């Protein structure tokens, strides 16, 4: 079905991909894994001629259904791809029109795919697609901005269900989803593969997911395939040093004992209520406290209200009921000056940080922007050597080469972009750090590096950290206490010492089961 031979992508004298060769037969699930910046997404982009023109020097062949995609003219390739290839991007929100409902965006696609269907029949097809990915009917009326990250990813997968292609290229399809939803999506891929006999090429940094679902795998590093073969053979008996390192870095749940900090809260919510007027969804009666030097984890599936909590913490939304306090003072009662200071000392690493880069500017400008906006005395303390040296030191701390500062954001992988933002958030020494899926776009090695760095920084005696995540095994690396949310409400709270207690809520037990993978952990 898909046969790639000696695929090479070069930018002047720099090889971004070199002699990549892989094959995925009909109904086969092939995964490409490797560290951030290895060329995983670039391989997928090159297959569909999505490589930016500025670096497009491609050789080799990509054979699909008797056609060499590398040699095809754009018009012919577009015609073939629209019928036979579905591409699911890392952050599908970029590929939806923000001012059109999901229904309007899908209707034209369904007309092309099913030209003989009436308007009513087309809608029935759309609803069946939504049900297949466990989304309610009212999503059709929704706009992309009204959906959570997990919901928008499932909308993209529902579109694939409608299209029924021969080849699905999935670029980190579950990186933004909670563990339970991820399992459902992977099972949906399996069902699709069986029902429409399609081939799946999946880009992933989650080796647990690769291990359980992919038939074959290619390990990519520095643009070259270093190991390839049957998934179980490669991951259970790795031959290369890097593959061994990747497998060892897979996170697993652990239970160290820690004592709770009984200081006065740094941040708290008391009976907070916020419901979106249109969808009637949101959060209800939320109460919790965060202490200095403590990390609290909030876990739950997509749509459980985690993102609403983040917006309330950042004062992007104001509670309709209840009180949100920082150091004992209500956010609603802060003066304009105090609010500016609160926002300076509250930093966030969000799920999709790609949109917060300054377009067409070097990475260094985005990184240094918050440093240049803090008070003069503090800025002088932070940058007493030199801005460049300061920025380079932080790039090294998060495992990036300092030269990324001179690159444009679009030339970085999703994982590299995320690490830049983690460095930026930590660099100004915030009092309150909000982590919203901070490692969702990172491979396991990068994830381990970043989690180790965050562990060091969240151990600060003054800083409080709120870690929002869907993978409880990752959140467990930092959090001392856990809050479990479902459908906008807190259903369970516990110290990590009591994580495995039989008294845990049934939903918590489901999350724990979904995050525990055997074979690699």
Q: What domains sit in the chain, N to C, each tagged with a CATH number?
A: 2-248 (3.40.50.300), 267-515 (3.40.50.300)
- pLDDT at residue 176, as a whole number: 67
Name the pLDDT band for 56 (thresholds 50, 70, 90): low
Retrieve residue 477's tokens: 């690396």
Name the pLDDT band for 381 (thresholds 50, 70, 90): very low
Would the pLDDT of 520 be above 60? no
Q: Going by C-beta distance under 8 Å and a sequence separation of 6 or more, which residues neighbour residue 345?
A: 430, 431, 432
Listing from the earlier edge strand, what are the strands of the sheet with 199-203?
A: 85-88, 167-171, 199-203, 29-33, 216-221, 224-230
- pLDDT at residue 195, as a whole number: 77
- The mean pLDDT of 167-180, rounded to a whole number, is 83
**Can you say how many angstroms the Cα of residue 486 is from the centroid of all Cα atoms in its chain?**
20
- What is the average pLDDT score of the chain? 84
- The mean pLDDT of 331-351, rounded to a whole number, is 87
Three-state helix/strand/coil letters over 127-193: HHHHHHCCCCHHHHHCCHHHCCHHHHHHHHHHHHHHHCCCEEEEECCCCCCCHHHHHHHHHHHHHHH
Torsion (CA) 97, 441, 146, 115 in degrees, nearest 10? 40
pLDDT (tens digit, 9 = 90+) per residue, 194-232? 877 899 999 998 888 898 889 999 999 999 999 999 887
Listing from the earlier edge strand, what are the strands of the sheet with 321-326?
A: 282-290, 267-275, 321-326, 329-330
Would the pLDDT of 383 be above 60? no
**238-242, 449-453, 471-475: segment of lowest average pLDDT:** 449-453
- pLDDT at residue 460, as a whole number: 56
Return the higher-pLDDT residue of 424 and 236.
424
Return the higher-pLDDT residue of 178 and 272.
272
* pTM (2 d.p.): 0.59
Name the pLDDT band for 136 (thresholds 50, 70, 90): very high
Of 295, 343, 345, nearest to 460 by C-alpha is 295
- pLDDT at residue 458, as a whole number: 62
- Determine the Cα–Cα distance for residues 188 and 173; give it in Å rounded to an integer: 12
Q: Going by C-beta distance under 8 Å and a sequence separation of 6 or more, which residues neighbour residue 396?
A: 402
Name the pLDDT band for 259 (thresholds 50, 70, 90): very low
- Determine the Cα–Cα distance for residues 439 and 175; give it in Å rounded to an integer: 9
pLDDT (tens digit, 9 = 90+) per residue, 3-50? 999 999 888 778 889 999 999 988 899 999 998 888 898 999 888 878
- The mean pLDDT of 102-120, rounded to a whole number, is 88
- The mean pLDDT of 257-284, rounded to a whole number, is 78
Retrieve residue 119's tokens: 């308007």
- pLDDT at residue 519, as a whole number: 41
Does residue 371 contact residue 380 with C-beta atoms inside 8 Å? no
- SS3 label, residue 417: helix
């Amino acid at each position: 079905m898909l046969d790639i031979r000696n695929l090479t992508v070069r930018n002047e004298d720099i090889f971004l991909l070199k002699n990549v060769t892989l094959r995925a037969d009909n109904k086969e699930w092939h995964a490409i894994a490797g560290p951030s910046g290895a060329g995983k997404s670039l391989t997928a982009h090159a297959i569909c001629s999505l490589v930016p023109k500025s670096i497009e020097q491609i050789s080799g062949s990509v054979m699909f259904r008797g056609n060499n995609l590398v040699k095809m003219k754009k018009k012919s390739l577009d015609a073939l791809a629209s019928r036979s290839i579905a591409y699911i991007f890392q952050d599908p929100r970029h590929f939806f029109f923000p001012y059109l409902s999901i229904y309007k965006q899908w209707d034209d696609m369904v007309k092309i795919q099913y030209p003989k269907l009436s308007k009513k029949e087309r809608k029935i097809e759309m609803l069946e697609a939504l049900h297949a990915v466990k989304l309610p009917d009212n999503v059709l009326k929704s706009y992309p901005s009204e959906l959570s990250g997990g919901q928008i990813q499932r909308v993209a997968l529902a579109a694939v269900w409608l299209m029924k292609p021969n080849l699905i290229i999935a670029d980190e399809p579950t990186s933004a989803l909670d563990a339970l939803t991820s399992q459902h999506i992977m099972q949906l891929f399996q069902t699709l593969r069986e029902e429409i006999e399609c081939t799946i090429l999946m880009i992933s940094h989650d080796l647990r997911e690769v291990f359980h679902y992919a038939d074959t795998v290619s390990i990519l590093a520095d643009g070259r395939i270093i190991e390839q073969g049957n998934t179980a053979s490669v991951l259970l008996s790795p031959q290369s040093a890097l593959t061994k390192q990747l497998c060892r870095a897979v996170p697993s749940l652990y239970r160290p004992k820690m004592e709770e900090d009984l200081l006065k809260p740094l941040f708290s919510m008391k009976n907070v209520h916020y419901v979106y007027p249109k969808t009637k969804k949101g959060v209800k009666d939320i109460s919790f406290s965060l202490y200095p030097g403590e990390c609290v984890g909030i876990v739950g599936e997509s749509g459980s209200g985690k993102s609403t909590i983040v917006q309330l913490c950042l004062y992007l939304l104001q509670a309709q009921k209840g009180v949100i306090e920082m150091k004992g003072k209500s956010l609603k009662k802060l003066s304009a000056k105090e609010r500016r200071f609160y926002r300076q000392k509250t930093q966030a690493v969000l799920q999709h940080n790609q949109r917060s880069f300054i377009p067409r500017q070097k990475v260094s400008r985005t990184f240094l922007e918050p440093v240049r906006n803090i008070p003069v005395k503090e800025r002088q303390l932070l940058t007493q050597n030199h801005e460049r040296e300061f920025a380079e030191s932080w790039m090294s701390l998060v495992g990036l080469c300092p030269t990324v500062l001179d690159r444009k954001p679009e030339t970085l992988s999703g994982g590299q972009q995320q690490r830049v933002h983690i460095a930026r958030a930590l660099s100004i020494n915030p009092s309150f750090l909000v982590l919203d899926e901070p490692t969702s776009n990172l491979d396991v090695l990068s994830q381990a590096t970043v989690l180790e760095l965050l562990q060091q920084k969240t151990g600060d005696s003054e800083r409080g950290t709120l870690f929002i995540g869907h993978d409880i095994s990752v959140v467990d690396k930092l959090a001392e206490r856990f809050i479990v949310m479902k459908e906008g409400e807190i259903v369970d709270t516990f110290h990590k010492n009591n994580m495995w207690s039989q008294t845990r809520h049934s939903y918590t037990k489901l999350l724990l089961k979904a995050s525990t993978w055997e074979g690699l952990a």
